[in-house]
């Protein structure tokens, strides 16, 4: 008897179910270099170990996009059969890992909704997952939600799942975000960052200011990024599962978006939270991504510097085709 090694289908999920069997991953310089080659990491502290020590007083920071990519990849034990990822909500760093830390992620099913059947389409449902990531000492690193669309194994199944997904995910107040950030950056010297790095800093950025990032970035090495971050979703590896052409992992699009944000605002110190992230359309390998960046709000921190609430709107174009909207990402970064 042969058993198929695969993840669950939609009707095999139950609210409260926990998946914690993904291997832990120790972040190395090799992971950082490979990730940088694929998505173009441009944040100064992960790139410059001397500056990082001067500002943080600690070892070299892991790039935040590498950290959340690994956390999401570890959660794909649940979403092996995923057809699309619709949104992320409430991502917040509780600790900023350094190279050498080990990440472990537990994924819980928190809400389920079966989609209305459509003629000619295999039935699907939406599963909202809460991901909790800790380091090798059990210290919290990340806590966030994502919504995945999964097929049903048996097309005739009616699960009765009809959760209100608008109510899922934590909304962090400005006061709570400031308090968390102060704890996250305890002992950091943002004044050293201001003194050492030329260019625009927190007080130089105006609310409502926007940038169109010149040029675009081609999406390449998509399966390699999925493998690097333990992402086993079939649609990122197997063209047959994706209907003939592999889908790019959503974190790949987000990573390239952050690289483009850092061209508009090269003095971002760290990313500390996401308000939310909506995938508006699929991205495929070979697409070229371009983006617009908006500084929606500023929020001063008591010790100097502050939080900049940013919005990245990303479009993708295939060859000479017309650009199409693929990402609406709202996140919060520290500036000195």
The DSSP string of 153-216 is SSTT-----B--GGG-SPPPPHHHHHHHHHHHTTT--HHHHHHHS-S--GGGPPTT-EEEPSS-
Residue ranges, the chain, pLDDT below 50: none
Q: State whether residue 247 is helix, strand or coil.
A: strand
First to last CA, the chain: 61
Position 60 scores a pLDDT of 93
Q: 240 vs 82, 152, 245, CA distance in Å?
A: 13, 17, 7
- Kindly state the tokens that stand for 234: 């079939």
Give Cβ neighbours of residue 39 (< 8 Å, ≥ 6 apart): 65, 225, 252, 255, 256, 258, 259
**Has residue 145 been placed in a domain?**
yes
For 319: left if phi > 0, alpha if psi spans -120 to 50, otherwise beta; the answer is: left
The number of folded domains in the chain is 1
Neighbours of 238 (CB within 10 A): 11
Question: What integer pLDDT is reported at residue 168 of this predicted model?
Answer: 84
Using only the alpha carbons of the chain, give its radius of gyration. 20
- Give the residue from 288, 269, 282, 279 showing the smallest Cα distance to 312: 279
Q: Which domain holds residue 84?
A: 10-152+170-335
Question: Which value, to the nearest 10 degrees, does the dihedral of the CA atoms of residues 100, 132, 238, 2 take?
Answer: 100
Let me know if residue 249 belongs to a domain: yes
Bridge partners for 218 per DSSP: 288
In 3-state terms the chain splits into helix, strand, coil percentages (rounded to 5) of: 25, 30, 40
The answer to whether residues 316 and 289 touch, using CB atoms and an 8 Å cutoff, is yes
State residue 321's pLDDT score.
Answer: 85
Q: What are φ and ψ of residue 260, in 5° steps?
A: -70, -35
Question: Which residue is listed with tokens 């650009």?
Answer: 323
User: What's the rounded Cα separation, in Å, for the pair 236 and 82?
Assistant: 10
pLDDT tens per residue across span 204-243: 999 999 999 999 999 999 999 999 999 999 999 998 988 8
Q: Tell me if 2 is assigned to some domain.
A: no
Read off the tokens for 307: 């939080």
- Asked, for residue 23, whether it belongs to a domain, the answer is yes
**Per-residue confidence (pLDDT) for residue 245, from 0 to 100:** 86
Give a yes or no: residue 160 inside a domain.
Answer: no
CATH number of the domain encompassing residue 20: 3.10.129.10
161 within domain boundaries? no
Domain-embedded: residue 158:
no
In a domain, residue 163? The reply is: no
């Amino acid at each position: 008897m042969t058993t198929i090694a695969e993840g669950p289908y939609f009707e095999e999920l139950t609210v409260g179910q926990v998946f914690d069997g993904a291997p832990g991953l120790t972040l190395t310089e090799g992971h950082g270099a490979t990730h940088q080659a694929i998505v173009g990491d441009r944040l100064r502290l992960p790139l410059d170990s001397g500056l990082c020590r001067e500002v943080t007083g600690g070892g070299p920071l892991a790039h935040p996009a590498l950290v959340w990519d690994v956390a999401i990849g570890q959660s794909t034990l649940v979403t092996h059969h995923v057809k699309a990822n619709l949104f992320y909500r409430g991502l917040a760093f509780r600790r900023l890992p350094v190279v050498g830390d080990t990440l472990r992620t537990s994924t819980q099913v928190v809400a389920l909704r079966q989609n209305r059947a459509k003629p000619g389409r295999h039935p699907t449902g939406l599963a909202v997952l809460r991901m909790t990531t800790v380091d090798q000492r059990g210290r919290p690193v990340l806590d966030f939600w994502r919504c995945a669309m999964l097929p049903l194994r048996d097309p005739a199944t009616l699960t009765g799942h009809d959760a209100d997904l608008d109510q899922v995910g934590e909304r962090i107040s400005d006061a709570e975000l400031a308090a968390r950030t102060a704890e996250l950056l305890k002992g950091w010297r943002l004044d050293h960052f201001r003194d050492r790095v030329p260019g625009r800093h927190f007080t130089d950025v105006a609310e409502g200011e926007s940038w169109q990032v010149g040029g675009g970035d081609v999406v390449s090495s998509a399966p390699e990024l999925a493998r690097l971050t333990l992402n086993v979703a079939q649609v990122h590896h197997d063209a047959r599962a994706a209907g003939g052409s592999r889908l790019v992992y959503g974190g790949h699009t987000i990573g390239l978006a952050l690289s483009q944000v850092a061209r508009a605002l090269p003095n971002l110190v760290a990313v500390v939270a996401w308000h939310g992230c909506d995938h508006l359309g699929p991205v495929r390998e070979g697409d070229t991504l371009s983006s617009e960046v908006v500084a929606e709000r500023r929020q001063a921190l008591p010790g100097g510097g502050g939080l900049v609430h940013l919005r990245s709107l990303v479009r993708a174009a295939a060859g000479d085709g017309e650009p199409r909207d693929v990402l609406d990402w709202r996140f919060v970064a520290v500036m000195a």
